[in-house]
């Protein structure tokens, strides 16, 4: 069994809870493709079997979220689960909010929250935070592809939809939007609606996944590796190179067929002469393609 399942993570579950449940039900190796906080909901692709090798590729894709920005109070966790640090009400208008939100489109700098899984000195930041400690962190560059205000319930809150690069902290974004408005703010509810090619419309709740596995119908929701990586360009490798291919060796370009010009360092889904997916290969500077991830 190999492929990915688009799980709808509900509140109260950690991402690791979801992986453990999927692993237990399928009796296969499993891994998630990007952590969602316990209080967050939405799309959590889980790779199964050999597909765990592509988890980092799915994790690297853009994400989309819908979040509530709560105005008037900041918290130590930057979300509704934390202790209130400051109260400062919003006295502006909806126009002010639209102006502030638009200012975050593009490449921005974020400071990883203390309550996050980023590791410093071998420990996760939230472990320091739970001990009452604050450690020095380095800001990160992330990209906000698009952001829009969906609705507003002023002066208390408004809802945003955010399309962003991997590694974006929506909690930090909500707090930073508040700072741009000159008020205290934190994140309320959070829903992940997209993760790469995985959408909330076809996400499966864990209770439904249990029933699907019990009926031995997992193939109905198992997304093939090729589908999960359908945005990758494709190449094929001739039968004469089968031995090199099976051994995971680099392969001279004389044995590679492609419908597009190959680019230095670019990655490709490579298929054998029979049409089976062999793995992810990259073009090297020595006139060869070399394996990055073997999937056959």
Structure token digits, residue 197 = 């090619």
Task: Tell me, yes or no, if 37 is annotated catalytic.
Answer: yes
CB 258 within 8 A of CB 238: no
Question: Radius of gyration (Cα) for the chain, nearest Å?
Answer: 22
Query: Cα–Cα distance between 279 and 235 in angstroms, integer?
Result: 10
Selected catalytic residue, list 17, 37, 254, 272: 37
**∠ CA 215-191-51, rounded to 5°:** 50
Q: Which residues are catalytic?
A: 37
């Amino acid at each position: 069994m190999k492929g990915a399942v688009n799980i709808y993570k509900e509140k109260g579950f950690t991402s690791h809870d979801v992986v453990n449940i999927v692993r237990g039900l399928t009796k296969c190796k499993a891994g998630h493709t990007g952590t969602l906080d316990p209080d967050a909901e939405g799309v959590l692709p889980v790779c199964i079997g050999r597909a765990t090798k592509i988890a980092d590729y799915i994790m690297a894709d853009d994400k989309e979220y819908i979040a509530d920005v709560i105005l008037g109070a900041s918290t130590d966790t930057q979300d509704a689960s934390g202790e209130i640090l400051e109260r400062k009400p919003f006295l502006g208008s909806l126009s002010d909010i639209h102006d502030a939100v638009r200012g975050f489109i593009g490449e921005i700098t974020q400071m990883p929250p203390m309550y996050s899984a980023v590791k410093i000195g071998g420990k996760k930041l939230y472990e320091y935070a739970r001990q009452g400690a604050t450690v020095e962190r380095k800001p990160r560059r992330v990209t906000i592809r698009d952001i829009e205000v969906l609705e507003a319930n002023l002066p208390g809150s408004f809802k945003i939809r955010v399309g962003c690069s991997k590694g974006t902290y929506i909690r930090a974004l909500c707090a930073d939007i508040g700072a741009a408005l000159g008020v205290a703010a934190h994140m309320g509810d959070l829903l992940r609606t997209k993760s790469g090619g995985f959408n909330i419309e076809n996400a499966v709740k864990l209770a439904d996944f249990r029933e699907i596995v019990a009926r031995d119908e997992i193939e109905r929701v198992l997304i093939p590796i090729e589908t999960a990586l359908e945005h990758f360009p494709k190449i094929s490798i001739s039968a004469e190179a089968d031995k090199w291919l099976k051994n995971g060796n680099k392969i001279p370009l004389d044995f590679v067929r492609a419908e597009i010009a190959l680019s230095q360092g670019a990655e490709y889904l490579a298929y054998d002469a029979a049409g089976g997916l062999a793995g992810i290969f990259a073009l090297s500077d020595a006139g060869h393609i070399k394996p990055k991830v073997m999937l056959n």
